[in-house]
């Protein structure tokens, strides 16, 4: 850590005031230094926020799971990846690069955002480093990450001749009920992150099951057809809708975070639950919950740290288990 004298901090404070009241060029120069002085492991985490629209609020757990899926967070053998990523998120808040927009009932942070000026820096740095191809246009070819804020942007990419052979992440934010484009977008098989949660899909695209490298999937659809078990690398699944074959979820051996709504996962008390040793967090909203069917389910998640089960009809919490955690 760099030690600074009182005079150094006074000069930094004067620069911040100058940045706020100065020209755009001066503002960019001063604020961009905050990014330049970030530790290398925090830079991609900072740039990732550039995928989201202005004033967008994202849950910390969702952001952390994306960082893990991208491979930003490396294990040191002593801590789980999510715990390490939580500390990184906390560091970005303490550096005033991220804002806490929402808190949980226990007073801990829940939703995060970014100041407009810092978001501008984030987008510019993303373009300079070819980290993220933001919304509205291709700023460079063969992007590693794509962000869409309107359905028209997806249509433009679908008809584009630009190569997406290196694309690893696709994030769709801020629009509803688009016509889902699946042509050129689904010609590649190397996606690690696919976030479609802000879209409504009339039917779940079965092409997604070809993305065997997918680690993060979030979607909103009436139902998911059989085939989810083919995503054998999946670590995070967030899905709002029914499952044609709920038992397939118990074949996802790499799953770490599971949040699903509107299904009867505990459908059969004789269901053969596989043991998912890596699963740490489960949030279920079910149509029916019977205590007699919980035993086999709980035996299948021996290392669970957070578990909540809600009854969607009665709108009440049926079961909650929380072990020690910094979150």
Q: What is the pLDDT of residues 251-284, one digit of tens each?
A: 899 999 999 876 666 655 555 667 888 998 988 8
Domain covering 39-128 assigned CATH 2.30.40.10 in the classification: no
Whole-angstrom distance, CA of residue 287 vs CA of residue 109: 29
DSSP state of 181: P
Model pTM score: 0.84
Residue-wise pLDDT for 135-192, tens only, equals 555 565 677 888 888 767 766 665 554 566 778 888 888 666 555 555 545 556 788 9
Q: Which CATH number fits domain 129-322: 3.80.10.10, 3.40.50.10420, 1.20.1070.10, 1.10.3720.10?
A: 3.80.10.10
Q: Between vectors from CA 196 to CA 166 and to CA 177, what angle results, nearest 5°? A: 125
User: Could you state, in order of their start, the residue ranges of all structural domains in the chain?
Assistant: 1-37, 39-128, 129-322
Per-residue pLDDT reduced to its tens digit, 4-35 = 555 655 554 555 545 445 556 767 777 788 88
Query: Using CA of residue 129, residue 60, residue 75, residue 69, what is the dihedral sign?
Result: negative
For residue 71, the tally of other CB atoms under 10 A from its CB is: 12
Residue 308's DSSP bridge partners are 283, 320
61-91 confidence digits (pLDDT tens): 999 999 999 999 987 777 889 999 999 999 9
């Amino acid at each position: 850590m760099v030690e600074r004298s009182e005079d150094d901090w006074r000069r930094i404070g004067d620069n911040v005031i100058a940045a706020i009241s100065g020209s755009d060029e001066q503002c960019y120069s001063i604020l961009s230094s905050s990014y330049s002085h970030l530790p290398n492991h925090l830079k991609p985490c900072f740039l990732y926020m550039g995928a989201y629209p202005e004033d967008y609020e994202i849950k910390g757990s969702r952001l952390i799971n994306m960082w893990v899926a991208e491979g930003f967070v490396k294990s040191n053998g002593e801590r789980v990846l999510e715990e390490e990523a939580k500390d990184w998120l906390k560091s970005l808040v303490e550096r005033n690069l991220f804002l806490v927009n929402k808190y949980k009932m226990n007073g801990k942070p829940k939703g995060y955002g970014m100041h407009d000026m810092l978001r501008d820096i984030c987008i510019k740095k993303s373009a300079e480093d070819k980290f993220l191809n933001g919304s509205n246009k291709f700023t460079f070819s063969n992007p590693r990450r794509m962000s869409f804020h309107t359905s028209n942007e997806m249509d433009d990419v679908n008809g584009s001749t630009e190569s997406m052979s290196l694309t690893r992440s696709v994030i769709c934010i801020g629009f509803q009920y688009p016509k889902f484009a699946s042509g050129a977008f689904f010609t590649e098989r190397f996606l690690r992150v696919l976030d479609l949660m802000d879209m409504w899909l009339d039917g779940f695209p079965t092409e997604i099951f070809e993305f065997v490298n997918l680690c993060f999937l979030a979607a909103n659809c009436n139902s998911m057809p059989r085939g989810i078990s083919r995503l054998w690398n999946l670590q995070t699944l967030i899905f709002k809708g029914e499952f044609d074959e709920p038992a397939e979820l118990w074949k996802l051996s790499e799953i770490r975070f599971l949040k699903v709504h509107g299904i009867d996962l505990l459908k059969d008390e004789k269901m053969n639950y596989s043991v998912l040793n890596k699963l740490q967090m489960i949030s279920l909203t079910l149509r029916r919950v019977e205590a007699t069917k919980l035993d086999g389910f709980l035996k299948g998640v021996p290392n669970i740290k957070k578990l909540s089960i809600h009854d969607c009809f009665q709108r009440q919490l049926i079961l909650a288990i929380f072990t020690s955690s910094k979150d």
